[in-house]
């Protein structure tokens, strides 16, 4: 009888023990703690089967109907559960389905536990992968679920070889311009005088690449201003020390951005760090061209050399050693530096936010360089005939001998400039307003308008210049502005009048209102009128007078 009860208990406990063993042997994931009961739940009570009749027992008598046994309670693991009294076969058969139902419930719980373990294992595999991807961005903090955010600190070589980031940008400025002094004529030598035309002022494509300690910039430019041309406008190779928390993206170029590296050493074809307007990007500039003085001093914006620039807090600095021959698209511009002396350009300034809506910046710039006066070739003796009486015949006294001349050597001369610039930006309810200007003096620096050559003229030429501009955004979709600039190419100019030399101002003043429509980040349609006040012509009395040379320009700029 006891043996039969033991066999029944073992048969009911085998499925439970196997299920518990499977749950305990399942490996938990590395990053999660899973608790599994150390002891299985006690098996449900099993009704004992009736004892078989014994041969030694007396003859069985009809017994009264047996009552159902009360449910057995779970016993401690160290003690055997007491055997309940015998029950009829019909009640044992009814208890078996109940035991199977309890086993099925435990199996369902085991399946749910296995599904939870699989989900935890999947998350344990994906979490290190996400952490590794976030760690590829230098300076970016990595956050693991369930843990506090901590900065990623990697070895120097790993930060040095981190993958770089690239940005491709482009813009096209197509326009129509009309000049008051345009003529359908040709100058002596074949130069055209017509200036009423359509043209592509700039079509530029730029590639920027950035790594932790290096940057690369390459910009190509196409234009039809002086005929179809296409060439390199920027070619920069830089080493730099960045601020903490670099986002892994190429920084925005130009002086309008606030973030600058602590130190940046650049070799190649790059901008000249003099003042504000010269280094301001033509893509961001609202007015069609730079001021008159800037165009005269620097016919082209970039030059070849080396530049050290950066900032600490609000302080800004830039120091450059350049060839001294700005690269532009004029046919007469030199293809290479004509002398061994280099130009030294420096700018010291500040850039800070007084409030969240007000930003103030400015600086002092200086330039010291060496100009070049080309010598002349040697000439041979020659004979010259002048038809004085215009009879188309050689008469006595009309033939003259011209002696030859020796070659003259080339000479260098000194040039310099000093400038002061300031900018104020204010965020208003209708958009950002910007007031900025620049002023300064220079000597022998005009290389584009009235070329200064003290070797040829015999006197030093001094220049004076200033400009002021205001631009107001009208919501995000419009803008308006006004600029006044003045340039005196020769502050010591003397005009001969009646046999006397009279001091005369040669200043050129330009008033430029501008207005336009803006599609943020995509396009701008601008109209600008330039009223030019100068003394470049003479009236009937021979007195300098204003030349009628006003112009207007309609430009469409689309950018990528």
Q: Which of 282, 274, 225 is nearest to 465 (CA)?
A: 274
pLDDT at residue 94 greater than cutoff 60:
no
Please tell me the distance from the alpha carbon of residue 253 to that of residue 280, in angstroms, as a whole number. Answer: 9
Residue 76: count other Cβ atoms within 10 Å of its Cβ: 8
Q: Phi then psi for 162, rounded to 5 degrees? A: -65, 145
pLDDT given at position 498: 61
Dist. CA 23–CA 559, nearest whole Å:
63
Radius of gyration, CA atoms only, the chain: 46
DSSP structure class, residue 283: T
Examine the pLDDT at 403 and tell me if it is beyond 80: yes
Average pLDDT in the 328-340 region? 73
Q: Residue 509: name the closest of 480, 544, 536 by CA.
A: 536
Q: What CATH fold (topology level) applies to the domain 159-373+410-559? A: Porin (2.40.160)
pLDDT, greater one: 38 or 154: 154
pLDDT digits (tens, 9 = 90+) for 535-560: 888 888 878 889 999 999 999 999 98
Strand, coil or helix: 264 = strand
Q: Alpha-carbon dihedral of residues 390, 392, 393, 395, nearest 10 degrees?
A: 20
Q: Which one has a higher pLDDT value, 124 or 519? A: 519
Q: Residue 492: its pLDDT value, please? A: 77
Closest listed residue to residue 252, CA positions, set 310, 315, 314, 167: 167
Please state, for a pLDDT cut of 70, what percent of the chain lies above it.
72
Give 93's pLDDT tier (boundaries 50, 70, 90).
very low
CA 502/CA 277 separation, integer angstroms: 34
Contact status, residue 318 vs residue 306, Cβ threshold 8 Å:
no
Higher pLDDT: 117 or 346? It is 346
Mean pLDDT of 381-409: 89
- Please give the pLDDT value at position 36: 47
Give me 49's structure tokens: 């089967």
| Between 253 and 429, the higher pLDDT residue | 429
From 142-151, 242-251, 447-456, 474-483, the region with the lowest mean pLDDT: 142-151
Judged against a pLDDT cut of 60, whether residue 91 lies above it is answered with: no
pLDDT tens digits, residue range 470-487?
Answer: 999 999 999 999 999 999
CB 75 within 8 A of CB 81: yes
Range from 394-398, 405-409, 515-519 that averages highest in pLDDT: 515-519
All CATH 2.40.160.10 domain ranges of the chain, comma separated, are: 159-373+410-559
- Higher-confidence position of 281 and 503: 281
135/154 Cα distance (integer angstroms): 9
Q: Supply the mean pLDDT for the chain.
A: 80
Cα→Cα distances 547→503, 536, 538, Å:
20, 6, 8
Q: Which residue has the tokens 């197509």?
A: 174
Residue 326 near residue 311, CB atoms below 8 Å: no
Q: In angstroms, rounded to a whole number, what is the distance separating the alpha carbons of residues 169 and 451?
A: 36
Q: Apex CA 281: angle with CA 278 and CA 287, to 5°?
A: 80
Mean pLDDT over 331-360 rounds to 88
pTM over 0.85: no
Stretch 418-426: mean pLDDT? 97
Distance between alpha carbon 20 and the CA centroid of its chain, in Å? 61
- Segment of 33-37, 65-69, 330-334, 476-480 carrying the highest mean pLDDT: 476-480
pLDDT per residue as tens digits for the range 292-311: 999 999 999 999 999 999 99
Report the SS3 class of residue 93. Answer: helix
Predicted pLDDT of residue 55: 41
Amino acid 468: pLDDT: 97
Contact of 463 with 486, CB cutoff 8 Å:
no
Backbone angle region of 503, left / alpha / beta, with phi > 0 → left and psi within -120 to 50 → alpha = beta
Distance CA 245, CA 144 (A): 19
- CB of 379 within 8 A of CB of 405? yes
Q: Is the pLDDT assigned to residue 59 strictly greater than 60?
A: no
């Amino acid at each position: 009888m006891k043996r039969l009860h033991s066999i029944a208990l073992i048969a009911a406990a085998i499925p439970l023990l196997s299920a518990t063993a499977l749950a305990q042997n399942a490996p938990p994931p590395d990053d999660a703690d899973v608790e599994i009961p150390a002891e299985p739940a006690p098996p449900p009570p099993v009704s004992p089967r009736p004892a078989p009749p014994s041969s030694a027992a007396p003859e069985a008598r009809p017994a009264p109907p047996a009552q159902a046994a009360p449910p057995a309670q779970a016993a401690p693991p160290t003690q055997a559960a007491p055997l309940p009294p015998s029950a009829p076969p019909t009640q044992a058969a009814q208890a078996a389905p109940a035991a199977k139902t309890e086993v099925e419930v435990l199996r369902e719980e085991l399946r749910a536990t296995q599904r939870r373990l699989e989900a935890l294992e999947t998350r344990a595999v994906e979490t290190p992968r996400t952490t590794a991807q976030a760690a590829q961005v230098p300076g970016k903090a990595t956050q693991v679920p369930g843990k506090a955010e901590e900065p990623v600190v990697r070895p120097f070589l790993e930060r040095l070889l981190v993958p770089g980031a690239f940005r491709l940008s482009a813009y096209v400025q197509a326009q129509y311009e009309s000049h008051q002094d345009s003529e359908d004529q040709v100058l002596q030598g074949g130069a055209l005088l017509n200036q009423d035309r359509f043209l592509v002022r700039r079509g530029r494509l730029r590639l920027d690449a950035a790594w932790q300690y290096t940057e690369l910039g390459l910009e190509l430019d196409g234009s039809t201003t002086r005929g179809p041309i296409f060439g390199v406008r920027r070619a920069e190779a830089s080493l730099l020390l960045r601020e903490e928390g670099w986002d892994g993206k190429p920084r925005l170029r130009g002086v309008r951005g606030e973030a600058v590296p602590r130190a940046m050493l650049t070799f190649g074809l790059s901008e000249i760090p003099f003042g504000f307007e010269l280094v301001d990007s033509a893509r961001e500039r609202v007015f069609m061209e730079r001021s008159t003085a800037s165009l005269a001093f620097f016919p082209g914006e970039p030059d070849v050399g080396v530049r050290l620039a950066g900032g600490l807090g609000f302080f800004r600095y830039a120091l450059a050693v350049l060839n001294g021959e700005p690269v532009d698209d004029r046919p007469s511009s030199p293809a290479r530096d004509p002398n061994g002396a280099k130009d030294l350009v420096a700018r010291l300034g500040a850039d800070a936010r007084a409030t969240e809506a007000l930003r103030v910046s400015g600086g002092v710039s200086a330039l010291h360089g060496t100009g070049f006066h080309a010598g002349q070739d040697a000439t041979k003796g020659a004979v010259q005939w002048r038809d004085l009486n215009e009879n188309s015949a050689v008469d006595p006294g009309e033939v003259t001998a011209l002696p030859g001349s020796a070659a003259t050597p080339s000479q260098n001369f000194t040039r310099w400039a000093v400038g002061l610039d300031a900018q104020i930006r204010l965020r208003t309810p209708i958009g950002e307003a910007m007031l900025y200007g620049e002023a300064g003096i220079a000597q022998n620096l005009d290389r584009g308008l009235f070329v200064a050559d003290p070797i040829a003229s015999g006197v030093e030429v001094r220049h004076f210049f200033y400009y002021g501009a205001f631009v107001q955004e009208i919501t995000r979709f419009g803008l308006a502005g006004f600029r006044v600039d003045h340039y005196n190419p020769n502050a010591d100019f003397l005009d001969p009048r009646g046999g006397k030399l009279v001091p005369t101002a040669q200043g050129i003043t330009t008033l430029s209102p501008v207005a336009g429509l803006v599609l943020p980040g995509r396009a701008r349609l601008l109209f600008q009128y330039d009223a030019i006040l100068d003394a470049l012509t003479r009236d009937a009395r021979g007195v300098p007078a204003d030349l009628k040379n006003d112009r207007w320009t309609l430009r469409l700029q689309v950018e990528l």
